[in-house]
Amino acid sequence: MVSERRIVLTGFMGVGKSSVARHVAHLLKTKRIDLDQELEHGERRTVAEIIDAEGESAFREIESNYLRRALDRPDLRVLSLGGGTWTVDRNREMIKASGMTSVWLESTFEHCWLNIAFSRKDRPLARDKQRAFELFQQRQKYYALADWHFVIRADSTSFDVAKQIVEQVFS
């Protein structure tokens, strides 16, 4: 019996939030919403273009607006956040107020960095390894506030992680 829970997936860039969310949604026979994709679709610009043109704090304002809209959607069941979304106080408050369950996908920096380095996604806040590592360290305390933690190992597949989430969070 699958519970009616609704989840947001958080974690550092490159940890695999989007692909785990896709598998979770597939297993639950539901849709997933990806916050970056929604924002890029709505703004008709990439996240990188927004951050490069207007800076991070303007991007965070836009991101919070899209988060609010996503949380208002009656069909929302699985939402993958951007890596910084959960670290902003107002966003965590909105998510808590919406009654969603938060899930942190936790991994090592090196694991995330490998995925970042091999990905085609342009991540303005992770163009430099040292800067990305500092962000990673600063953010751990926020991610640790999530309701659930799942540790992603180098040999975990996103499908296996999704199965664990469905079995444990939705049971």
CB of 142 to ligand S3P, least distance (A): 11
Query: Please, how many CA atoms are within 13 Å of residue 133, restricted to the half-sphere of its CB?
Result: 5
Find the residue with minimal CB distance to ligand S3P. Answer: 82
CB of 2 to ligand S3P, least distance (A): 26
Sign of CA dihedral 143, 21, 150, 130: negative
Told to check if 88 binds ligand S3P by CB under 6 A, we report no
CB atoms under 10 Å from CB of 109, counted, come to 17
Residue 10 vs 166, nearer CB to ligand S3P: 10
Check residue 86 and report its DSSP letter.
G
Q: Per CB under 6 A, which of residues 46..75 are in contact with ligand S3P?
A: 47
Q: Which of 82, 95, 100, 143 binds ligand S3P (CB under 6 A)?
A: 82
Sign of CA dihedral 116, 120, 123, 129: positive
Residues that bind ligand S3P (CB under 6 A): 13, 17, 36, 47, 82-84, 123-125
